[in-house]
Amino acid sequence: MTTRATSLQVALRAGVSQSAVSRVFSGASASPATAEKVRKAAAELGYRPNVLARAMITGKSRIIGLVVAYLDNQFYPEALERLSNALQAEGYHVLLFTIPNSTDSIQGVVQDLMDYQVDGIIAASVSISSGLAEMCHSAGIPVVLFNRGQPDSGLSSVTSANIKGGALATHALINAGHTRIAHIAGWQGSLTGRDRKQGFEDAMDQAGLVPFAIIDGMFKRDIAAASARQLMQGDARPDAIFVGNDHMAFAVMDTVRTMGFSAPDELSIIGYDDVPLAAWAAYDLTTVRQPVNRMVEATVDTMLALINGRDTYSQTIEIEGPLIQRSSSKPPKGQLQ
C-alpha cells in the first residue's frame, strides 16, 4: 500500500520549515526561491495538499459553488465556462451542480455546498428562498445570483438590462413596419422572463399597438414550438414574434419552416441572448446580445468583494446589451440588411 507524502516530508526534502510549505500551497507570501524548492520537492515526492483539511484550519476552501437549473439552453454552457475560467484565474476552484428549479432540490444542494465549506455560491438562473438565503448568511457564505434577479431577497444579482432589452427588440420590429407582433415569453415565474415581457409591453404601448398574443414559453423548446404552431395556424397570424430567449427562438424558426413559412419574408423573428448558434447560417437569428463577458466580470468582482468583506450590502447590477441585426427579421425601414 502506497503511503501519501506529508508536508513534513516535503519540508525536510526542501530544507525549509513545515510552515513554509503551508504558505506556498495556501498562496500566502513566500519568496520565489522558497516556492521553487518546495514545489520541486513536492513533485519528487508526489505530494498534493489536502484542500479540505486546509479549509478546516483556515476557514477558507478556495471553492466556489456554481448552481444552474439546466444546461440545454445554449447560453449557460458558455457563461459557466467563462465564470469558471474567471474564478480559476483568481485562484478559486469550482464545484458545479445542475438541479431542477424546485425548492427541495435547491435546499439539498445548498446543504451539500455548505458541507464542502465553499467560500461562496453563484446561482445561475436559480431562485434562492429567503430561508436558504438566511441560512447561507448565517454560515457566512455569500450568494450572488447570475442572470436571475430576485427582488427583496437581500441577495446581490447580475443580469442584463432585461426590460430595456425587451423594448429594444420590440422597437426593432415596430420600426421595420410590423404591427401584428406576438411575444413567446420566458417563464413568468422568473424575473428575467417577466422583465423581458414588460419591455415588450412597454414598447407596444408606446407605439399605440396591441400585442397580437403573449404566450408563456417557459424557456422550454417544446413549449415554444407548440406556441409557434398555435400562432401560425388559421388566417389571422402575427407578422413578427419576439421570443424570450434564443433557445426558444431556434425552436420557433424550425417550427415555422416546417409549416412552410419563411423568415423574414412572411414572419420576422427576434430572440434574446446571442448564443454562438444564433450566428450560424442555418438560423442567422436577430437577437439581443447578453453582454456575458461584462456580466461574468461583475459577478466575480461582486463575489470577491463579499468574500473579502469589502461589501456588506446587496447590489442589483443590470448591464445593457445591443441588438444584433441578422436575416431572421426585417431591418428597420430605410436600413439595408
Domain ranges across the chain: 7-49, 63-160+292-319, 162-289
**Contact by Cβ (8 Å): 148, 123:** yes
- Asked whether this chain's domains 63-160+292-319 and 162-289 adopt the same fold, the reply is yes
C-alpha dist (Å) from residue 316 to 144, 155, 303? 10, 8, 13
What pLDDT sits at residue 18? 86
Least confident of 15-19, 149-153, 226-230, 332-336: 332-336
Q: pLDDT band for 150, please (50, 70, 90 cuts).
A: confident
Assigned CATH topology for domain 162-289: Rossmann fold (3.40.50)
Q: Which pLDDT does position 214 carry in this prediction?
A: 98
If one compares 28 and 93, the residue with the highest pLDDT of the two is: 93
Residue 24, C-alpha cell as written in the block: 506556498
Label residue 129 by pLDDT band (50, 70, 90).
confident
Residue 164 has which C-alpha cell?
430595456
Paired strand residues for 145? 123, 157
* CB contact at 8 A, 38 and 20: yes
pLDDT of the residue at 103: 52
Residue 243 main-chain phi, psi, to 5 deg: -105, 140
Q: What three-state secondary structure class fits 273?
A: strand
pLDDT at 1 over 50: no
Neighbouring CB atoms inside 10 A of 109's CB total: 19
119 to each of 82, 87, 91, 114, 265, how far by Cα in Å? 19, 12, 12, 9, 52
Cα of 217 vs its chain's centroid, Å: 19
* Amino acid residing at 104: D
Q: pTM for the whole thing?
A: 0.83
- Burial (CB < 10 A; 0-12, 13-18, 19+), residue 95, is middle
CATH C-level class of 63-160+292-319: alpha beta
Q: Quick check: bond before 264 cis, omega within 30?
A: yes
Beta bridge partners of 184: 215, 243
Residue from 52, 97, 50 nearest 76 by CA: 97
Q: Are the C-beta atoms of residues 77 and 139 closer than 8 Å to each other?
A: no
List residues bridging with 66 in a β-sheet.
96, 122
**Mean pLDDT value across the chain:** 90
Helices and strands (H and E) in the chain: how many: 12, 12
> Residue 290 has what DSSP assignment?
P
